[in-house]
Amino acid sequence: MNTFKRQCIELRKKDYTLPEIVRITGRPKTSVHFHIQNLRLSAKKLRLVRESRMTLARELARKRRGISARLFKRFTEWDKGLVCLVSHLVFDGEIRRNGCVYNNRNMALLDRVENCMKGIYPLEPKRYVNKFTGVARISYFNVSLGEYMKEKSIQLLQEITRKPRHLKREFLISFFDDEGCIDYRPDRNHRRIRGYQKKVPILKIVQRLLGDFGIESRIQLPNEVVIAHKENLLKFQKEINFSRGVRINGDRPNSVWKQHLEKREILRRATESYKPLGSNGVHRY
């Protein structure tokens, strides 16, 4: 038995690991492994190796998390941009364990969310477009950001009804741009604004905020808030409205208009379609 082989075997019997023997002998890992591959470490040594690896992994994760956490700005005061960002992520987005995602086919809304995010997070999002639906996605992969925005989304929903009027308006604009539509069908005299949301508590928040602007609405179960009647549509048009560039999908099989009209344009047509009051004080259609 040559000297190197004997040294490797003796060190292994003393419970030295492969990296430790490589360090002591100064020989390549493959050469050392050839001589000790059939000699197992003790159960105690294997346990210590596992614990050491776990400690190292936690330390590396902590360092990465520290770097990740410093990439975005935390905030204590809400402004329009922050309400816009968080509310859009709540409505047409996803706040995940590994970051934040926003989905939409309207470039105006995608640009809005991206610009708002730049205020607290400097990195560019990952982009994806579904070639079948035309829906685009922007994703921000950052675990600390995802956890933080989750906390902020809960805070916003809890506090928005007590916020100043301009922040309430921003919240409602985000909701109806993401979740809303104008149901105007002239042949049936239908004129309604509808907002969809599977979480009824959020619908109740929206209804309460609309009330703060003098807009009456009703919650129609299972999942929508409905605004009807001329005076409410006009108040909505004045106080909230749909944003410029936010269009319906005219390619949908059930599309009434068969063109990519802006939602605010459809609302304008709906409100202007009301005829003057008749002699009995009732709108004529």
Domain ranges for the chain, please list them: 3-69, 80-159, 173-272
pLDDT the model gives residue 256: 67
Kindly give, in sequence order, each residue whose CB lies less than 8 Å from that of residue 191, ignoring residues fewer than 6 positions away: 183, 184, 228, 230, 233, 270, 271, 273, 274
DSSP 127-189: EEE-TTT--EEEEEE-HHHHHHHHHHHHHHHHHGGGS-HHHHHHHHHHHHHHHEEEEEEGGGT
pLDDT the model gives residue 189: 82
Smallest CA-to-CA distance from 250 within 239, 261, 240 is with 261
Single-letter residue type at 105: R
For helices 143-159 and 43-69, give the axis angle rounded to 10 degrees.
60
Q: Residue 113 in contact with residue 138, Cβ under 8 Å? A: yes
The alpha carbon torsion through 154, 157, 158, 161 (nearest 10 deg) reads 160
Give this prediction's pTM.
Answer: 0.73
Length reported for the chain: 285
pLDDT the model gives residue 68: 57
Single-letter residue type at 194: R
Kindly give, in sequence order, each residue whose CB lies less than 8 Å from that of residue 71, ignoring residues fewer than 6 positions away: 121, 122, 123, 142, 144, 145
pLDDT the model gives residue 262: 92
Equal CATH topology for 80-159 and 173-272: yes
Domain 80-159: CATH class, spelled out: alpha beta
Domain 173-272: CATH class, spelled out: alpha beta
pLDDT, block means (10 residues), the chain with 285 residues: 84 90 88 87 87 74 57 90 97 92 94 94 91 90 91 97 97 96 86 94 97 96 94 96 87 66 93 69 47
